[in-house]
Structure 1
């Protein structure tokens, strides 16, 4: 009996001595419960409904009163939820018409913040990024280019050539030439049918634009000094023909030539 009593006392003493450690462990295991506002709950439910296909792209959402009834909230909560969904590009609210499901793309936001997000990046890093993204996009575009896509690409190529000739002759129109060059390469990104590549290109649009402008300006200066020569036929024309012919290897080689001259960050700050 005395032995059992001592064992009980020892057990109680052990619990007492280790109570703080047990409490600390319990505290670590507890996950604080976060309060979610009614607005965020409605946002979550509407997003889920869209993701599950209940409301597809282009569909009109029920009226505010109907949504309020569906989710058991007031109309103000629904209105604030719709405003939040509109601000992040999931829906589009048209005055007098209602709210409609949008085709979501990160590019809408990437363009808006790219000049802030990427101002400190280096030109050489942009060159490496272009090699990584654009050559892969061109390779994918070679696999199964549609007739309409090739028509668009050809149109953008012709616009680029027209502006290039004008720039070489007059020395004017550099900004328009840069935009035409960007549009040509972006069309190739579209033809890759990889939305992530396309969005990355959009994210880095302003940085790539600076790179393209520097590249064109430096090549023009080098050409006048007979230090830079393109092969027979413009590289953009050769690239278009390679894509149309499904020629991946030629496409890669041409793209490397297009990106070959790496301007320094100090050049062409005009």
Structure 2
């Protein structure tokens, strides 16, 4: 058996968890000063050593910034923090949409080309199912339509059979989901249905060059809707 003895959770870890939850719920806004170590020590009824350890952990995660002699302040995280896996997508700024869509223009075309060469027949069948669901939910269930859209692109990442590419797609989709209310209301379902249909046909033909060209046009068209 691989069971190991349990360890008591340190006080600093408990404090860190409570403060982190408050930060993610928006209790303190970006740039706002947190209570002092002395005040936190009084609130939690622990030593300042435990408070300092908790603050250091939050600083290492990119959630706060500690300034010598001035205290700890809420930091505005960005997409680089998400790439490190430390910040949930709900905590990102609107600038993340520009960054991730700019990245898509460089990334998704070549991935689609590679995916066309490596996709299994089962994956192509799954792509067809997702496309049909996109069509059927376009006017009846916009949330499900959006989910199919994300899954379609995620499937392309998986079709490349490269764990690094899959990981990047997961990060990209997290940011896109966090900004989707803006995206969906701007582009509507028709654009996605059009380009995903063209991609599906190109993947069926195993036409790698066409997959790249269509994907490049798809992400460029979406980009131009937001940043003309």
TM-score, scaled relative to structure 2: 0.55
- What pairs with 1:111-130 in structure 2 (closer than 5 Å)? 113-115=87-89, 118-119=92-93, 121-130=95-104
Q: Which runs of 5+ in 2 are unaligned?
A: 8-81
- TM-superposed CA distance for 1:245, in Å, is 1.3
The yes-or-no answer on 1:152 pairing with 2:126 is yes
Instruction: Give 1:104's aligned residue.
Output: none
CA RMSD, Structure 1 to Structure 2 (Å)? 3.1
- TM-superposed CA distance for 1:254, in Å, is 1.4
**Counterpart selection for 1:194 from 147, 158, 162:** 162
Q: Which runs of 5+ in 1 are unaligned?
A: 1-61, 65-74, 81-106, 168-172, 224-228, 266-270
TM-score, scaled relative to structure 1: 0.48
Give the number of the structure whose alpha-carbon radius of gyration is greater: 1
Whole-Å Cα distance in 2 between the matches of residues 243 and 252 of structure 1? 10
Whole-Å Cα distance in 2 between the matches of residues 139 and 249 of structure 1? 6
Question: Size of the alignment, in residue pairs?
Answer: 150
The yes-or-no answer on 1:177 pairing with 2:145 is yes
The yes-or-no answer on 1:240 pairing with 2:208 is no
Whole-Å Cα distance in 2 between the matches of residues 137 and 153 of structure 1? 15
Contact 2:109 2:213 in 1 (8 A): no
**Aligned structure 1 segments of 4 or more residues deviating by more than 6 angstroms:** none
Instruction: Give 1:205's aligned residue.
Output: 173
Contact 1:115 1:207 in 2 (8 A): yes
Q: Secondary structure at the match of 1:189?
A: helix
